[in-house]
Structure 1
Amino acid sequence: MAKKDKRFVKTYSQGTMDVIEVLVDRETGVNYLFRSSGYAGGMTPLLDREGKPIITTVLDEEE
């Protein structure tokens, strides 16, 4: 799959065994928080103070 075809872009990553990542959906711009620990993990949209999803514009040159 080419880089331009990737729907999600990782914008932040922390940890190796206990991982926290922020992913941005290229189509909607919605930011998601992904958390994994061992064999368990989960993903949820990041929300602002008013409960609305955080939207980011992703440029093509970002990885």
Structure 2
Amino acid sequence: MFGNKKNSDGDRFIVTYQQGTLQQIKVIVDKKTGVNYLFTINGYGGGLTVLLDREGKPVITSTVDNSSY
């Protein structure tokens, strides 16, 4: 679900940013709502949270261009 940048039209989430190998950080966008999530992996642990802007509001991507992912 979150590991592959190549997504078909049926997938709801797109990985828009990825950094690291053992300690990974990913930004995932919900194609239906546009909400951005921060996903972290470190060894056997990980976490997922809504990505917030400096005002504490969720970061929302207005349009998601599937061709670039």
- TM-score w.r.t. the length of structure 2 is 0.82
Aligned equivalent of 2:48: 43
User: Which sections of structure 1, spanning at least 5 residues, go unmatched?
Assistant: none
Structure 1 residue 61 displacement after superposition: 1.6
- 1:45 maps to a residue whose letter is V
Determine if the alignment matches structure 1 residue 33 to structure 2 residue 38. Answer: yes
Question: 1 CA distance for matches of 2:66 and 2:21?
Answer: 27
- Other structure's SS at 1:61 match: helix
Is 1:18 matched up with 2:23? yes
* Pairing 1:45-60 to 2, within 5 Å after superposition: 45-56=50-61, 57-60=63-66
Q: Percent identity?
A: 56
- Over the aligned positions, Cα root-mean-square deviation in angstroms equals 1.2
Q: What TM-score comes out, normalization by structure 1 length? A: 0.90
Question: Distance in 2 between the 1:36 and 1:12 partners?
Answer: 14
Offset at residue 62 of structure 1 (A): 3.1
Structure 2 residue ranges without an equivalent (≥5): 1-6
